[in-house]
Structure 1
């Protein structure tokens, strides 16, 4: 559960799958900017996810939560003061809301495998470049707002929910990215009220930002966010100092067996080179014979001549 101190104390944000929060991991080498928390989560292709925000204190004013997927705005929702008067209030955002001819739709979020191609990133438009910079990240921004009221024009601007078909391989610049965010087909939903509002902060700065960087398990291991499974390495390839007593014994046993096998193979090859075949009318038998060194001489041109007589 991503938690911040200071102004965001008491507000917890997490990513859920089937109402269960995904396990969060931290890059210990990374420093978080002020009022920002960065976490890593495991993504599975085709799995739907949602943002769950839990408030554990009464709000002095309304709050706007914005969800951005891969750098693109996906959803915004308000929590008003009267909704947080209890000890806990939970808000769940599971998709992007749109409106067409008075009918409202919700498109649920899901993880999709990231496809790459060999196209030139320099030929891509600015929108694609912006998405590539932020791909693999769910960002939840929280703002204090005021003067909240229903808008006269109660319609919602249509947002682009088309996922990326593929991205230029070179645009990733070696980053361990495995997935992108996508959306399910639109499903009809109940009417949604559209509000107008003002920001408390003149610069429209978020008082809290929660970034969830999603990757496959393999990518998280490649980034050293998750420890590599010891079983995925041969004992012979692992660092000696990292082996426990049982692993050291097993490694020693394997090395002894390899040494014994090498000696046996060498002995067998030596034996084979010293055998000759004796035939009679009834059977063929193998008889050990000593190696015979064939004399070698040089002719007047310096060419080796073997005497096989």
Structure 2
């Protein structure tokens, strides 16, 4: 549930099947102390209908005759409900309302109408060069797609002026397919379309003025909706580390652990030798070579030095040695 610390008591959530969607922090717009805006990511699924739930409860206290809400979907103002202070007082400081979509007239001034619900839809992209002709307009449209924004404003006393009848086909003007360049590498996956209409009834239309101007809302709630895959690519949702399957073989220890010296397994004499060697290293003395191994050590040094000689001289020496050691045939046959 998105809330703003500086205006406690006002909350907004996006719902699917009347259940609030999980929210994730938006690091591009971190919530700062005293800020009047909050931004969250939510996961969207194609063809799922959604609604916006507005709620007010204590400790919020209205300091204006009317509180206005502006619901923007993909950059288009779709609903503008008003809440009068008298209505909030009748509810004991509690008020809640769910907005599923846009209501359209069936003709005339009757209260009957049709409600077309908000529905998540997949953004279709193309690499067709023919789409480049509308690239500029597509970029402008895609810049606002993927966001649901609710602004809260203080307004004057509201007056009823009739039925709230919508005439424009909002959200139907967005292109069904855009060139992939219109997304500019952004991880946007979904937009919003209007679903099939169902029977509903118009509410009363109220009008009032803005107390602080339309450009000065007291609160802004922003929801960026993306597919689960897009949220993972943005690292908003982190993939869990793969867990080891039950009953699987335990991973073999690191080589350093395999070769580690187990002091406890040594005999007392071996432990004393290790302790003596450690003391010599600390004192800077050269390790003592056992007498039985001094000769072998000298032999190894001699062999090493011999190998470091000139390779050409070494070859000549080996040839000379072979000649000297060659077998000589002596003819003992008498004449």
Kindly indicate whether residue 41 of structure 2 is the aligned counterpart of residue 35 of structure 1: no
Match of residue 119 from structure 2 = 110
Other-structure match for 1:208: 219
Structure-2 change in CA distance of 1:183 and 1:80 (3 Å): same
Q: Corresponding residue for 1:101?
A: 107
User: What's the CA shift for 1:215?
Assistant: 0.8
Cross-structure match for 2:160:
150
Change beyond 3 A, Cα 1:4–1:200: same
Q: In structure 2, what is the equivalent of residue 26 of structure 1?
A: 25
Higher strand share: 1
Q: In 2, distance between residues paired with 1:125 and 1:194?
A: 38
Correspondent of 2:200 among 189, 194, 207? 189
Answer yes or no: is 1:178 the counterpart of 2:189. Answer: yes
Q: Which residue of 2 aligns with 1:281?
A: none
Give 1:9 deviation, angstroms.
2.0
Structure 2-normalised TM-score?
A: 0.64
The answer for the alignment partner of 1:169 in structure 2 is: 180
**Any conservation in 2 of the 1:26–1:40 contact (CA below 8 Å)?**
yes
Q: Does 2:221 correspond to 1:218?
A: no
Unmatched 5+ stretches in structure 1: 236-246, 254-309
Partner of residue 64, structure 1: 68
CA 1:107–1:153 in 2, change beyond 3 Å: closer, same or farther? closer
Equivalent-residue separation in structure 2 for 1:97 and 1:74 (angstroms): 10
CA contact (8 A) 1:97 1:105 kept: yes
CA distance in 1, matches of 2:175, 2:138: 8
Distance 1:157 1:196, change over 3 A: farther
Gaps of 5+ in 2: 255-335
* Mapped contact 1:63–1:143 kept (Cα < 8 A): yes
- State the SS of the aligned residue for 2:141: helix
> 1:179–1:214: 8 Å Cα contact kept in structure 2?
yes
Q: C-alpha distance in 2, partners of 1:196/1:69?
A: 22
- 1:64-93 C-alpha deviation (Å, 9 max, x unpaired): 111111111211211111221214211111
Indicate the larger mover: 71-80 or 214-223.
Answer: 71-80
Q: d(CA) in 2 for partners of 1:133 and 1:207?
A: 24
Contact kept in structure 1, 2:84 and 2:157, CA below 8 Å: no
Partner of 1:3: 3
Q: CA separation of 1:147/1:223 partners in 2, compared to 1, >3 Å: closer, same or farther? A: same
Deviations 1:188-218 (A, max 9, x none): 2113222221001135422111111111111
In our comparison, the structure showing a higher alpha carbon Rg is 2
Aligned to 1:240: none
State the Cα distance separating 1:170 from its structure 2 match: 0.5
Structure with the larger helix share: 2
* CA distance in 2: counterparts of 1:172 and 1:125, whole angstroms: 10
What is the TM-score when the length of structure 1 is the normalising length?
0.69
Partner of 2:275: none
Q: Is the 8 A contact 2:103 2:115 kept in 1?
A: yes
What is the distance in 2 between the residues matched to 1:90 and 1:153?
21
Q: CA deviation at 1:127?
A: 5.9
Query: 1:152-301 to 2 correspondence within 5 Å?
Result: 155-162=165-172, 163-231=174-242, 250=251
Task: Tell me the residue number matched to 1:73.
Answer: 77
**In terms of mean alpha carbon deviation, does 88-97 or 101-110 score higher?**
101-110
